[in-house]
Amino acid sequence: MTTSTLNFPPGPPQINNMLEALLLGFKYQRDMLGTISEQFRIYGDTYAIRFKKGVQIVLSNPDHIHQVLVTDAHKYHKGPDYSNPNIGLTFFLGNGLLTNEGEFWKRQRRLIQPAFHARRIEAYADTMVAYAQQTMAGWRDGMAVEVDDAMMNLALNIVAKTLFSSDVSGDAERIGSAMTVLQHMAADIQLIPHWVPTPARFRRQRALRDLDAIVYRLIAEWRESGDDRGDLLSMLLLARDDDGEGMTDKQVRDEAVTIMLAGHETTANAMNWTWVLLAQNPDVEAKLHDELDRVLGDRPPTLENLKRLPYTDMVVKESMRLYPPAYGFSRWAIEDTQIGNYDVPKGSVVGVSTYATHHDPRWWDAPERFLPERFSEESEKQLPRYAYLPFGGGPRVCIGNSFAMMEARLLLATMAQRYRLRLAPGQIVGTDPLITLRPKGGLRMTVEDRKPTMRGGIPDRVVVGTV
């Protein structure tokens, strides 16, 4: 395609040199969500950033998003950075499910999928509840809690226990800091070549060594016993291709790190924002408490009674609408193509702004308000296709979406049944959009005991058995 004759979406003036590109990069880095929203306000629901060579197209129109993720999925890869092991996500995740492509991705997805079948994840419900109870065991009325740390540890322990039959509570701090290093690395503008030693690069190397040590330890422990524990790690280690070949330890490591990291940070942030929104919206919180008290009383939630908690489900969904943990992601055109009537030359990066779609007043009345009723069975049916996509869509849709939804509902039910979390008067929680949407500067909240007389369901120390 010769760019002069092409039909691109509207957008700001073309970027002509390195300085302009850097300034633009810094503008997005300083206020990612604000800048994207501003561009959509000016140019409509699809805009293009044009460079001398190439174009980036940013989407918030559900039809366009559907075309890229579903109808034309085969015309895109995830992105050029995903095949470069020195930068971005690939530096940490290697060649795992989130980053690889083509036939190899298909094979790995087929192999990993059974670990996420409904029957199997349902067996994890009790473990999820038990870990939520363990998290609350040290909480007392009036206590200040670093909620973001608590949610991150909780979600990490759940992934490790359910999918790897392992206890990583002793490693949580190292995995947490590796996660923060990764998030900044992927979101930072890379000005210096990757081989130049800088303090940030030493931090990355250390974080990578930490992650490797933890995951290779899990693999070695498994090999020592050699048992099929029926978990994801066993599946990875026992898998054989048509020639009877198993995966190398490096490939198992890449898949395990991917699932461990992708599977806890996102859910933890969904929980963080849910607590913030409940504290800011006492009317919604009261309805949630009413449902939990009516259906559960003082009994802990189970897989069975979860079905009778529709409002809890609606609260989680609405929280992920306002603050989608994966607030945006991208694709890379591997051939000349079109989106709607717009041209997309091979090599173009196409961004999907889940955040903008979730805040578009055409699909959402009073989009900034926290209204879980939007997700009542009736209202949900009226939503345009792909106006709500917290888990993405098409063949690369989140493999853990049912796992995450079940987990978020169970954690919310278990914890809100007993405690209310309060923000300090006037406390404003800003957003920190890195790879996921984190609360800026952490999330300190005060615990309020809703049921001081309730014991039974929440022992001081919970022994979490194997699933």
- Among 388, 393, 366, smallest CA distance to 375 is for 388
CA 310 to chain CA centroid, Å, is 22
Encoded tokens for 216: 């290779």
Closer by beta carbon to ligand HEM, 159 or else 423 = 159
The CB-of-285 to ligand HEM minimum distance in angstroms stands at 20
- The residue whose Cβ lies closest to ligand HEM is 400
The CB-of-122 to ligand HEM minimum distance in angstroms stands at 15
CB-based burial of residue 41 (10 Å sphere; 0-12 exposed, 13-18 middle, 19+ buried)? exposed
- In total, the chain counts a number of residues equal to 467
Closer by beta carbon to ligand HEM, 50 or else 162 = 162
Q: Give the DSSP H or E segment for 64.
A: helix 62-66
Closer by beta carbon to ligand HEM, 388 or else 403 = 403
Closer by beta carbon to ligand HEM, 139 or else 273 = 273
Encoded tokens for 26: 């810094």
Closer by beta carbon to ligand HEM, 139 or else 148 = 148
Q: What string of DSSP letters covers 372-388?
A: GGGGSHHHHHHSPTTS-
The CB-of-161 to ligand HEM minimum distance in angstroms stands at 12
**Which long-range contacts link 149-156 to residues 24+ away (Cβ below 8 Å)?**
149/176, 149/442, 151/268, 151/269, 151/271, 151/272, 152/176, 152/179, 152/264, 152/265, 152/268, 154/268, 154/271, 154/411, 155/263, 155/264, 155/265, 155/267, 155/268, 155/271, 155/407, 156/260, 156/264, 156/268
- Among 212, 246, 254, smallest CA distance to 96 is for 254
Q: Which residue type does 129 have?
A: V
The CB-of-434 to ligand HEM minimum distance in angstroms stands at 14
Query: How many other CB atoms are there within 10 angstroms of residue 12's CB atom?
Result: 13
Closer by beta carbon to ligand HEM, 72 or else 447 = 72
Closer by beta carbon to ligand HEM, 15 or else 256 = 256
Half-sphere exposure of 66 (CA within 13 A, CB side): 9
Contact (Cβ atoms closer than 8 angstroms) between residue 444 and residue 145: yes
The CB-of-59 to ligand HEM minimum distance in angstroms stands at 13
Closer by beta carbon to ligand HEM, 300 or else 325 = 325
The CB-of-96 to ligand HEM minimum distance in angstroms stands at 7
- Among 428, 424, 427, 413, smallest CA distance to 136 is for 413
Q: Which residue type does 50 have?
A: R
Contact (Cβ atoms closer than 8 angstroms) between residue 418 and residue 450: yes
- Which residues contribute to the site for ligand HEM (CB under 6 A)? 78, 97-98, 109, 159, 258-259, 262-263, 266-267, 270, 325-326, 329, 390-392, 396, 398-400, 403-404
Burial track 364-385 (b if 16+ CB lie within 10 A, e otherwise) = beeeeebbbebbeeeeeeeeee
Closer by beta carbon to ligand HEM, 151 or else 458 = 151
The CB-of-396 to ligand HEM minimum distance in angstroms stands at 4
The CB-of-336 to ligand HEM minimum distance in angstroms stands at 22
Closer by beta carbon to ligand HEM, 153 or else 457 = 153
The CB-of-45 to ligand HEM minimum distance in angstroms stands at 19
The CB-of-129 to ligand HEM minimum distance in angstroms stands at 16
